[in-house]
Chains A and B, each alone.
Chain A
Amino acid sequence: MILRLSNRACVLSGSARLKSTLSTYFDEMGKAGIILKSASAGIFENLALEDWIHDHVDLQNRSILLLWRNSPVVVIGRHQNPWQECNLPLMRRLGIPLARRRSGGGTVFHDFGNINMTFFTSKKKYDRHRNLKVVTSALKALRPDLDVTATDRFDILLNGHHKISGTAAKLGRTSAYHHCTLLCSVDRSILSSVLKSNTSEVIRSNATLSVPSPVKNLSDVDPTLDADTIMEAIASQFNNEFGFDSPVITVDPAHEALMPGIHKMTNDIQMWEWIYGKTPKFSVCTSLVVDDVNIKLDMDIKSGTVEKCVVEIPEDWLPPETVNEFTSALNGSKYCPNEAAVLVAAFMRTRSMSADVAGKIHRLCEGVLSVM
């Protein structure tokens, strides 16, 4: 099971005994505290790893720290609205995916310059302040002059002003996890542009809103601080704080034999129905200008699907029957520009219309799609 064992780290892979899972491996280790590091940079694999540990590992007498990093991705909280929180068209153009996690809280941008830490405990031992203390103490141990403090909103501030870490948590029946980010050397220009929604003003919803804060990278104040050094420091501080003596164990979240069921979990959180479909009910109310004509657009979206679509168009620009057919083509479709385009295209194919009307519908559709 263990490929490489040094005094600080080892790698888990290729189970020789078929019945061994990660869970039984922990039982055999018999340690009260375990530090894990994910071998994957894929957000969905890592989120699935968190869920698997939360669901399958006995945390009543054990605490686990998981360290992980991802390639560029925007992660929204469980009850948030992605159209309100980030710039989806920009993300599509840049090829930055969107993920929804199971914990609450706000929206964050991850890339390799960001460290994620997840503290798994039983519900009794759930203590976010103590976990954040591990982080701040680790940073101070590395650089005693660093001014990092945790606030009562569970943020970590640098120099009392810039946010370098945000927190979210998930509580289940018997166990809980608390995870937080840590900005070491993230690309701040991408961060600020993707986390600024292009349509938030036109959305009315009760979804949890993120609280924007000025951010900074740890590398901005000390360029010698890099993610690997910081992760090592956090691992040792975790051992110190709780009196554990765990090495850092690398885990590959794609290993189905080690973690039965994790492939399905990874697939489930990539489905449109989870990422977009779990958005709480919201409505979009806006005015578009197409060909110098003012068009009022009103849509109700539930579970990411258009439940009601009303378009107010002056009758002389487009006949009402055509407009009605256009809106009924959109009714019941996912609030997604790709699907809406396909449905409108099918509508245009099966309705004979002059080139002039077709052109207007193209431009109208473009306007509607711009808010998706």
Chain B
Amino acid sequence: MAAVITVRAPFAFMRRLVSLRLHKRCCSKVQSAYLVYRPHSYSLIAGQQQRFFRTSCVAARPVMPFKLSDIGEGIMEVTVKEWYVKEGDKVSQFDSICEVQSDKASVTITSRYDGIIRKLYYDVDSIALVGTALVDIETDAGQVEGPQEDVVETPAVSHEEHTHQEIKGLKTQATPAVRRLAMENTIKLSEVVGTGKDGRILKEDILNFIARQTGAILPPSPFQEICPPPPAPVAHSTPAAKPREKTTPPSVPTPVIPKPVFTGKDRTEPIKGFQKAMVRTMSAALKIPHFGYKDEVDLSQLVRLRSELKGLSESRGVKLSYMPFFIKAASLSLLHFPILNSSLDENCTNITYKAAHNIGLAMDTNQGLLVPNVKNVQMLSVFELAVELNRLQTLGSSGQLGTVDLTGGTFTLSNIGSIGGTYAKPVILPPEVAIGALGKIQVLPRFNHKDEVVKAHIMNVSWSADHRIIDGATMCRFSNMWRSYLENPATMVLDLK
């Protein structure tokens, strides 16, 4: 018998014995207690167990129907438009439950109780009648306060306000559930800082207060005991250590810092949209054996040329960046190295040398990576390229790029340097066989042909190519030609078509 007494903490056990309140959580322990003490009563209870729990006391987790309160203006029915909860969800008082609509008014219905949703009475788009039950909520014991139904004539909201906001004589605002939690943990509400609306004290505020006191986070269970504060610091140690420590100065007590609680949670989302497209493309790109080739380009002369042409271009209404030059130089070089503008079929049995140079631009939009391409660069002048780039950029940033602009590319350039970076290892976009990533243009010291140190505008380019059909020497020669066009822009004039 003594053994059974020590099963539960004294206070809780006495309370249960005295008031005969039973809770589902500990009913098994209760049963064993009864088994020892009053075996004959147990059989009595066993048969009527369900009824005993429900009828004898309200505290045994009642399921309350939460009725749709009056909306005002004599409205008798509304349409349920959206549920914010589903059966089994946990809700707190004032959480939104659903959205209903009536006659151009959208109403958010909030929960009256803390508890678990047990039943939704209406589907979306069905008509709900004012005064009928909307949901069943399984509440904690002792939460029921005031009338259990909403009164249809007067807005029930005013009653809630009375109990929750205007309780006479008390300045602190807290719901009855919060007050009970504070009382059970012997906390004075006036000592707790409320973080809710209008300084209202929330359940989280009580829990944080307790955590700060004890250095631990406690679950919000009414029967939880408060752990005693941590033992006094070790510095005031046992007498055995004293003789040795007499000569040392008294040590500073180790500060006890409550463990900071990290409440961040992992978040898992399905992959869809732009990300799904990227996953698909890059998984296919994995099959291509990449090799990389990096080089440095001296753009000093190009920088000068562009600053001269910028004004003229803007007078024609087009912004001129460096990209049109990079793209045109690539196209001129591709004429000499058509294998870089080809495509390998799935079985690696045939190479198709593409006639058109459809050069893709990697574009960073706020939704993700887009790679539209400029068609037939081999037929466009640098200015026409600039026009086309502007068009694609405008469409890309406003989300209006179509499939025609997004497919059919044969070679790609990625100007990652516009955001930052020097070297990169770009991934080839199938069905292409090569790609180049351009780093940022930096001003660096370099030696000129007279052995003098001069200021140079240096950009790094990182190429990747499909090693099944392209070898390093080809990539190197292509890169050298591309580089020489850009380092001496005048040579582009000779080869322009």
- B-contacting residues of A (Cβ < 8 Å)? 55-56, 58, 60, 77-79, 92, 95, 102-106, 123-124, 126, 128, 153-154, 167-174, 176, 178, 206, 208, 278, 280-281, 305, 332-334, 336-339, 341-350, 352, 358, 361-362, 365-366, 369
Contacts and interface: CB of A to CB of B under 8 A. Distances in A.
A58 B408 CA distance: 59
A305 B273 CA distance: 10
A209 B277 CA distance: 35
Contacts of B454: none
B273 A333 contact: yes
A103 B402 contact: no
Contact of A280 (B71, B104, B124, B160): B124
Nearest to A346: B277
B35 interface: no
A353 to B, nearest CB: 10
Contacts, number: 156
Interface in B325-373: 345-346, 367-368, 370
Interface string B290-319: 000000000000000000000000000000
Interface in B468-494: none
A170 B124 contact: no
Interface stretch (B22-30, B105-113, B206-214): B105-113
Interface in B39-95: 71-73, 81-82, 94
A56 B402 CA distance: 44
Nearest to B276: A343
Given A104-B105, A342-B274, A342-B370, A92 B400 contact: yes
Interface of B: 71-73, 81-82, 94, 99, 101-108, 110, 124-125, 155, 157-158, 160-161, 197-198, 270, 272-274, 276-278, 280-281, 283-284, 345-346, 367-368, 370, 398-404, 406-408, 429-431
Given A78-B101, A345-B403, A362-B407, A350 B94 contact: no
A236 to B, nearest CB: 27
Given A79-B82, A104-B104, A176-B105, 17 more contacts: A92-B400, A103-B105, A154-B104, A167-B104, A169-B105, A171-B72, A171-B108, A206-B125, A208-B101, A281-B124, A338-B400, A341-B401, A342-B277, A346-B281, A349-B431, A352-B345, A369-B402
18 contacts: A79-B81, A79-B82, A79-B106, A95-B398, A103-B104, A103-B106, A104-B104, A123-B155, A167-B104, A168-B104, A339-B274, A341-B403, A342-B274, A342-B277, A342-B401, A345-B403, A345-B407, A348-B403
A44 to B, nearest CB: 15
B163 to A, nearest CB: 13
A345 B106 contact: no
Contact of A124 (B155, B276, B400): B155
B406 A358 contact: no
B284 to A, nearest CB: 4
Contacts of A58: 198
A341 B365 CA distance: 14
Nearest to B280: A346
A171 B367 contact: no
Contact of A173 (B73, B94, B398): B94
A261 to B, nearest CB: 12
Contacts of B398: 92, 95
A349 B432 CA distance: 9
Nearest to A152: B103
Given A126-B73, A169-B106, A345-B406, A174 B429 contact: no
B468 to A, nearest CB: 15
B108 A173 contact: yes
A358 B407 contact: yes
Contacts of A336: 399
Contact of B400 (A104, A337, A348, A352): A337
A45 B153 CA distance: 38
A109 B277 CA distance: 35
A321 to B, nearest CB: 14
A349 B284 contact: yes
A344 B274 CA distance: 11
Contacts of A358: 407-408
Find the residue from A128, A305, A332, A345 having the highest chain B CB count within 10 A. A345
Given A352-B431, A362-B403, A369-B402, A170 B106 contact: yes
A350 B278 CA distance: 11
B431 A56 contact: no
B105 A341 contact: no
A349 B407 contact: yes
B71 A171 contact: yes
B403 A365 contact: yes
A174 B346 CA distance: 65
Contacts of A178: 105
A348 B273 contact: no
Nearest to A178: B105
A210 B154 CA distance: 32
Contact of B272 (A281, A332, A366): A332
A371 to B, nearest CB: 14
Contacts of B124: 206, 280-281
Contacts of A103: 104-106
Nearest to A128: B73
